[in-house]
Structure formats: C-alpha cells, structure tokens
Structure 1
Amino acid sequence: PSTQEEFLHTFNTINLAGKQVVLACDAHPKMIGHLSEKLVNRFVSGMVVKIQTPDFHTRCQICRQYFRTKNSKLKTQNSPVPESVIKYIAENLRTNVRELEGALLKVIAYSALKNNNINLSMAKAVLTEHLERCDPIVHVSDIESAVAAYFGTTPTKIHSPKKDRTVALARHFSMYLTRKHTKMSSSEVGRFMGNKNHATVLLACKKIEEMLKRNAEIHWQGPDGNKVCKARTIITHLEASL
C-alpha cells in the first residue's frame, strides 16, 4: 500500500506538470489484483488500449527492417534476404516481436558463422527446434474476456464475490481454461480472479472436468434470456476464440 501511495503522488506530480505517463501490462487496470481504487481510477482516466500481436504484413516489415539493420552492422549478407525467408519466418512466428527477433538473430548468427548468404533451406534447418518451442501464448485476460462475452457477463463480475449461476459458471470456466492454457498456478489464478484461494480454483476446475466428462447440459441466464448448451460445446467454442 505504501508503495502504491508513493507511486500515486509521483503520478499526480507528473500529470500536474503536463507530462505523460505510459504504462504497460497484460491486463486491464480494473483486472489487476491488489491495485488500489485510486490508482485504477487514475489509469482508466487516460487512454487504455489493447495492443494486438502484429499481423502477417507487419511481421514481414519487422523482419526486413531487422535484417537490414543487423546486416549493415555486421556486413554478413552481400545480397538482400530472399522474400521466401522473410515470409517463412513471419508465417511461423506469430506470438510476439521478441520471439520474432530471437529467430532472426539466430539465422543471422548462423549465416555469419558459416559465411553463407541466408536462404530458405538454411532458415528452415536453423529454426526447426526454435519453432517447436514457440507455442502460442494465451493470456488470462483474453480468457476472461472470451468467457465473459460468451456468458453475457463481465470480467469485473467474475472477480466479484457474486455467486449467481451465470457469474459462477463464467468464473469456473475462466479458472479451468486459465489452468489449462497458461502456466499460472492455482494460487496465482485465484489471486488474479478476485483474491480467491487456491482451493476455490481446484474445486472450480474439478466441477468443469466432471461436466465435460458427462457432457452435462448447462443452463444459465444471458442478457436476452435463458441459455442452454452442452459443456463440451461451450469449451470448444471458448477455446476456438482464444
């Protein structure tokens, strides 16, 4: 609390001076656990935007620029890097710019070591193991948003103590999918979703697993009336949207 209070004073001082503060996080300010209401209000009073992962065209541009910059410094490539190499890397590395740059650096380093120009067969050989390790990243905030939209509720309600059926279902599915698709522990998931304890998360996951096992018919109240759907259909739909 004292650290947050000090940061709030610093934030206000900078703001009153007409300066700007840029903050980055993997979740909306209202979804960050243990953040004081005063800080949340300050953060949402500014521009809150979601930065999407770069699309294919942007990834290609990043590759071209990176190759040009590195090769001009290292002088390892006498001819332009083939478009086939750029498109191969951009198509297979979609998660984030750091993964992309790591792959590019690996190809450039191999090219310099062998004293050969970069080509498609070289890129494929060098990046085989790298691509196997680069599983798509799913963020808990994306999971919550998808689940909340499906059940007609909000991430804020999922974090709340509310126990009506719709919110409880959304909370349980969020916890289950977060444990399945992220590396967060049960305790971490609980803290993120409204300071719940790890036992609550374990129980939620067990309930969803039992529903999936028997493909239970699930009922809930959506914004436009009663809803009903099979558990496996719900999971399939939610996972497809992540």
Structure 2
Amino acid sequence: MTIVDREIVSALLDALAGKIGKERFDLWFGDGSLWNIQDSTLRIRARDAFRLDRVRGFRRDIQEVCEMVIGRSLELSFAVATDDEVGSTADHFTAKLATKQDGPQTATEVSSPNTVRAAERSAKLKSGRKYRDLSSMVVGDSNRMAVASAERILRCPGEASPFLLYGPSGSGKTHLLDAIRGEARRRGLRRVVLQTAEQFTSSFVEAIQGSGLPSFRSKYRDVSVLILDDVQFFAGKRATLVELQHTLDSLIRDGRQIVLSSDRPPAQLSAIPQELRTRLAGGLVADISTPDFAMRCEMLERSTCSLVLSSSVKRLIAELATGDARRLAGAVHRLEVASEAYHCDVTLEFAERMLRDLFQAHQRVIGLRDIEDAVCEAFGVDKNCLRSSRRDRVATHPRMLAMWLARKHTRAGLAEIGRFFGKRSHSTVISADKKVQSMVGSGSCFETLQGPCHVEDAIARIERRLQAS
C-alpha cells in the first residue's frame, strides 16, 4: 500500500473503534486482522474462519465509516488470511498498528510524517479511552440529567440500581458509560466490568457450551459495578434474558451498582419481558439526546486531533455534523487525511469543498411515511387506525399529532397531508394543527392504549425516533 492508503486505513480503524466501541473492536479486530486497499476495494483478512464470520457482521458499520472518512463507500472483500499475507507487512495494514502496537516501526513508517501523525493520533485516542472519567464529558441541555445521574450513582453506589441511560445512536451513551467506568475505578471501587449486550450473550453461550456457568457468574456477579451497553439487543434471547434477570437480582440484593444503556425507555422495550422491564425502571432512568450546536463546538475544542483547525472551520463542522456525534470525528478524520493528501492547510474554503459531498450524502429528508411509522410505534396503534374514520380519542389524538408533525418536519402541503392520513380535507389538517398547538400550550395529555401521555413527552419521544432513523 502507499503511504496515503495506509493513512486512510489508519483513520478508518480509528473511526470504526469509535463507532462500535473499543471493547468490541479489540475483541474482533484487535487480534491483528489485516487491512489493505486495492483500487476501490477494502480487503479485510481475519486470522481464522470463526473471526471472519464475526467480522463480516460489521459490514454495515465499515461501510458507514468509509463514507464518513473518505466520502464514499468501498467494495468490501473478506477472507481468511493466508500464511503469505500474515507474514507480509508491506502490502497489509495490521489492525494492531492502529490500536495496540507500541513496539518499533519499520524504517518506512518512522521516516513518514504521515505515519508518525497517525501513530500520535492513535496513542492519544487510546489514552483518552483508557483514562476517561466524568470530567471528559461535555455537558449541555441534551445530557445534563444523564451526567447528574451518573454523579449520583457514583457518590452512593447501589442506592439507585439499576441506572438505565437511554437515547438514540450517537447521543453519547457509550462515552458516558466509559466515563462512569473510569470514574468508578478512580474512586477505588473494587471491580468494574463494562460489556456490550453482545459480549454478555457470547460469554453466556460459551459458558453453556463448555467453559462453565460458575466462572461466567463469578465474572458478572462478583463486581462492584456492572455496566452493560445496548440492552435492547437482548430481545428474543430467552435463555440470556433469564440469566440476565438472575444476575440483576443478585447484584441488587448485594447492594451493587448496575448501569445499563438502551436506545429507548423501559416501557418501549416491548421484546423484553415485563418482569425485567419493571426491574429496569425500578432504579434510576435518565434520557440523553444528540448534542446541540454549542456542545458540538465544545467537543471540537476538546478534540485530541493533531490537525490545527481555525474557529471558523470548527463552526462549519459543528453546523454540518448534526445528529450523530460520531460525524464530528468523521469530518475531522476526512479533513486530516485530505490535508495530508493535498499537502495544504485546512482553510474554510478547503473544508467546505472537502465536506460538502460528505454531509449531503448523510442528509435524509423526513417523509409522511416516517411520521406515520413513528406515531404508530409511540401510540401502539396500526396504520389502518390512523387513516380510519374512527373518532374516539385513541385514534384522533395520534392522527392530529401526525398531521402536526407532518406540518413541522416535512414540506408536504395541507392537501397532501390530508390525503395521506385518510383522504381528509386541508381544513381538517389546519384544525388538527391548531388543536395540538393549543394542547402544547396548556400542557394537556393524549389518550393512548397505555393510558394518558403528556403531549410534550409524546412529541419528544416521536422526534427522537425520527432523529434516530
């Protein structure tokens, strides 16, 4: 590979570790998997067939990282590494180089300023993850409650257990969980374990198949703090859910602290048994949303990137990289590689040119069908009910809200909105819009199948789903 290709692969690895989490990255890619770019194909070689199957499962994440870093997708080629490929370092980039390697480099790598900068970036990134604590959090309106809750459980471990943190992808849940782990260790808590739901499930399956349940239970129950990320992925795994419930009961009984994260609140985890959902809601629940403009600016100020960016360029990135906070890192990675590839400083004009197509590709227009799906999920009704002629509140309240949201988030006209939601007239849409505005002003409640729901809570829940999608 050329030096530029190696630099691109280094940036891809850094971005992938940030996207899927360091624990998962180290588990499946940190074993020395080989990465190589040939023309428009990214070739990934795993050490064995078992790891190859797991690595293939990250295809979508790798494609998204490619779009974030270089602005386009690459063809992906997966295979088990041959002996010749394992022995060659000239044509392949080892994942360890980007995340773990501390030993000597080859002469080519030492002499290349691009590779030195990549190594510095990786060392800083690794250091930042290892020693992260609550002081590393950028606090704003979107996460103030979540950070305050984290401080509370660390002051009094076990008093509010479990602590469930929920919010859309890219809102900073994993970052906060990592900070809780670091802060707990800094405060001297004996044993702190952070795992994803996938890792917990894999460990449980391995224990059943041979390694033994006693060692598995010792790992997850003999702890001061157990942190599990993305618990929504336990849905449908019956045996794992039973084991998880017993694990939570054991830890709560012993006064230990449990910290969990999910992409939705407990009441919406419909694929998880009610008894377990009750336990999740029985401690402390806090929501977190994607960072606002001021927070994104502060994140860029605190960035460990070696690239010097002017305030105007940082403001541009913060304005463009809305939604998922990972897009900030993706934009910075792209500018860093572009600066090295074109041998120039990053001016405002250069940044606009390099980022324009990247963020145009990420923009997604919300449509009437998106509104319909989000409202039906939030209220527990089907589309036929939303478009029917029913006049009871269980049908009319979600229908009114859907029309109000369509007016707010889409460019559809009154007549188009009316036709979509049951062939209604434009005057019906106007009336629905006014009624919802009045309900927002008076703090009224909607009637749902689950009972009354505050109008602002319903709107916030649906808009979070629209944002996440």
- Deviation, structure 1 residue 42: 0.8
Q: Paired residue for 2:431, among 212, 230, 240?
A: 230
Q: Compared with structure 1, are the counterparts of its residues 165 and 103 closer, same or farther at alpha carbon in structure 2 (3 Å cutoff)? A: same
> Does 2:428 align with 1:217?
yes
After superposition, residues 158-169 of structure 1 pair within 5 angstroms as 158-159=379-380, 165-169=392-396
3-state secondary structure, aligned to 2:298: helix
In the other structure, the counterpart of 2:357 is 129
Q: Compared with structure 1, are the counterparts of its residues 21 and 9 closer, same or farther at alpha carbon in structure 2 (3 Å cutoff)? A: same
After superposition, residues 86-101 of structure 1 pair within 5 angstroms as 86-101=314-329
- Letter of the 1:84 counterpart: S
3-state secondary structure, aligned to 2:271: coil
Q: Compared with structure 1, are the counterparts of its residues 129 and 173 closer, same or farther at alpha carbon in structure 2 (3 Å cutoff)? A: farther
3-state secondary structure, aligned to 2:277: helix
- Letter of the 2:360 counterpart: E
Deviations along 1:157-204, one digit per CA (max 9) or x if unpaired, are x337998711123445678979xx8xxxxxxxxxxxxxxxxxxxxxxx
Q: Percent identity?
A: 24
- Deviation, structure 1 residue 120: 0.9
3-state secondary structure, aligned to 1:49: strand
- Deviation, structure 1 residue 147: 6.4
Q: Paired residue for 2:276, among 39, 45, 60?
A: 39
Q: Residues 401 and 436 of structure 2 are in contact (CA less than 8 Å); yes or no, is this contact kept in structure 1?
A: no
- Deviation, structure 1 residue 97: 0.8
Whole-Å separation in 2 of the counterparts to 1:164 and 1:11: 44
TM-score when normalising by structure 1: 0.60
3-state secondary structure, aligned to 2:272: coil
3-state secondary structure, aligned to 1:23: strand
In the other structure, the counterpart of 1:102 is 330
Q: Paired residue for 2:421, among 208, 223, 235?
A: 208
Whole-Å separation in 2 of the counterparts to 1:209 and 1:234: 18
After superposition, residues 138-177 of structure 1 pair within 5 angstroms as 155=378, 158-159=379-380, 165-172=392-399
Q: Compared with structure 1, are the counterparts of its residues 121 and 44 closer, same or farther at alpha carbon in structure 2 (3 Å cutoff)? A: same
- Deviation, structure 1 residue 10: 1.5
Q: Residues 401 and 432 of structure 2 are in contact (CA less than 8 Å); yes or no, is this contact kept in structure 1?
A: no
- Letter of the 1:52 counterpart: S
Whole-Å separation in 1 of the counterparts to 2:273 and 2:297: 41
- Deviation, structure 1 residue 16: 2.9
Q: Residues 107 and 123 of structure 1 are in contact (CA less than 8 Å); yes or no, is this contact kept in structure 2?
A: yes
In the other structure, the counterpart of 1:152 is none
Whole-Å separation in 1 of the counterparts to 2:288 and 2:254: 27
- Deviation, structure 1 residue 87: 0.5
Q: Residues 215 and 231 of structure 1 are in contact (CA less than 8 Å); yes or no, is this contact kept in structure 2?
A: no
Whole-Å separation in 2 of the counterparts to 1:215 and 1:164: 18
The two structures, once aligned, show a CA RMSD in angstroms of 4.0
Whole-Å separation in 2 of the counterparts to 1:137 and 1:28: 26
Out of 167-176 and 113-122, give the one that drifted further. Answer: 167-176
- Letter of the 1:114 counterpart: Y
> Does 2:57 align with 1:57?
no
Whole-Å separation in 2 of the counterparts to 1:165 and 1:207: 20
Aligned length: 182
Whole-Å separation in 1 of the counterparts to 2:329 and 2:422: 39
- Deviation, structure 1 residue 206: 7.9
Out of 55-64 and 165-174, give the one that drifted further. Answer: 165-174
Q: Paired residue for 1:70, among 295, 301, 305?
A: 305
3-state secondary structure, aligned to 1:210: coil
Q: Residues 173 and 208 of structure 1 are in contact (CA less than 8 Å); yes or no, is this contact kept in structure 2?
A: no
- Letter of the 2:395 counterpart: A
Whole-Å separation in 2 of the counterparts to 1:37 and 1:174: 28
- Deviation, structure 1 residue 209: 4.4
- Letter of the 2:279 counterpart: R
- Letter of the 2:380 counterpart: H
In structure 1, the gaps of 5 or more residues are 72-76, 149-154, 182-204, 219-228
Q: Compared with structure 1, are the counterparts of its residues 173 and 133 closer, same or farther at alpha carbon in structure 2 (3 Å cutoff)? A: farther
Q: Paired residue for 1:21, among 242, 258, 266?
A: 258
- Deviation, structure 1 residue 22: 2.3
Whole-Å separation in 2 of the counterparts to 1:101 and 1:137: 23
- Letter of the 2:286 counterpart: V
Deviations along 1:84-137, one digit per CA (max 9) or x if unpaired, are 000011012121211221111111111122222221111101101111123369
Q: Compared with structure 1, are the counterparts of its residues 206 and 7 closer, same or farther at alpha carbon in structure 2 (3 Å cutoff)? A: farther
- Deviation, structure 1 residue 17: 3.5
In the other structure, the counterpart of 2:312 is 84
